Amino acid sequence: MLTILFWVFSVLMLASAAAVVLFRNPVNSAMSLVLTFLALAALFVTLDAFFIGIIQILVYAGAVMVLFLFIIMLLDLKAETRRRLNIAALAGGLAVLGGFVVLVTQVVRSLPSSAEHFPPLARTGYPDAYEIGMTLFSGFNLPFQVIGVLLLVSTVGVVVLSRRNLR
């Protein structure tokens, strides 16, 4: 059952990720990006990472995608007109890409533990969010607060960047 779900969601995720790259209209790309994020959240759930899956849906499929669609609407982007293809650049890009895919496949195959199944999990009775919260607030308290400062700085930065007369 888990195997079927894994392959269904990974094929769905890879297909919609390819659609993000292939669609000409940015709105279509953004919609397939939502589908990619949802399938990825499902893959996180198959890895017993429930909290990360929920966060993925809330932050990515919710907040980030709303931001993307808002910007597409604000800029009023039309579908790209076809331009003359630069054959040399296209061939170079595809060559780099092919080499990268071969490299990744080789690395994954040569990994000693790549054919191992995941070990079974113990039942503790605590939910996933409890354990992550304990780790976050006991072991990573300072990074957590630094992240808070980072979010504040980026908010202020966005406000400054979107002023009408940027100096």
Partner 1 sequence: MPTLGDYLLVSGLLFSIGLAGVLLRRNLLIIFMSLELMLNAANLSLVAFARHGVTAFGLPDYNAQVLVFFIITVAAAEVAVGLAIIVALYRLRQTTHVEDLNRMKF
* Interface with partner 1 in residues 7-46 (CB under 8 A): 7, 10, 13-14, 17-18, 20-21, 26, 29-30, 33, 36-37, 40, 43-44, 46
**Beta strand residue intervals within 25-79, DSSP E:** none
Interaction of residue 142 with partner 1, rule CB under 8 A: no
- Cα separation, 158 vs 161, in Å, equals 5
- Alpha carbon separation from 150 to 67, 133, 135 (Å, rounded): 18, 20, 20
Residue 63 DSSP code: I
Kindly identify the residues of this chain, within the stretch 46-85, that bind partner 1 according to CB under 8 A: 46-49, 51-52, 55-56, 59-60, 63-64, 67-68, 71-72, 74-75, 77, 80, 83
Query: How would you class 161 by CB atoms within 10 Å of its CB: exposed for 0-12, middle for 13-18, buried for 19 or more?
Result: exposed
CB of 66 to partner 1, least distance (A): 11
Structural contact between residues 13 and 38, judged by C-beta atoms closer than 8 angstroms:
no
Interaction of residue 97 with partner 1, rule CB under 8 A: yes
Q: Which of 125, 142, 161, 167 binds partner 1 (CB under 8 A)?
A: 161
Interaction of residue 87 with partner 1, rule CB under 8 A: no
Structural contact between residues 56 and 1, judged by C-beta atoms closer than 8 angstroms:
no
CB of 80 to partner 1, least distance (A): 6
Q: Which of 87, 88, 108, 142 binds partner 1 (CB under 8 A)?
A: 108
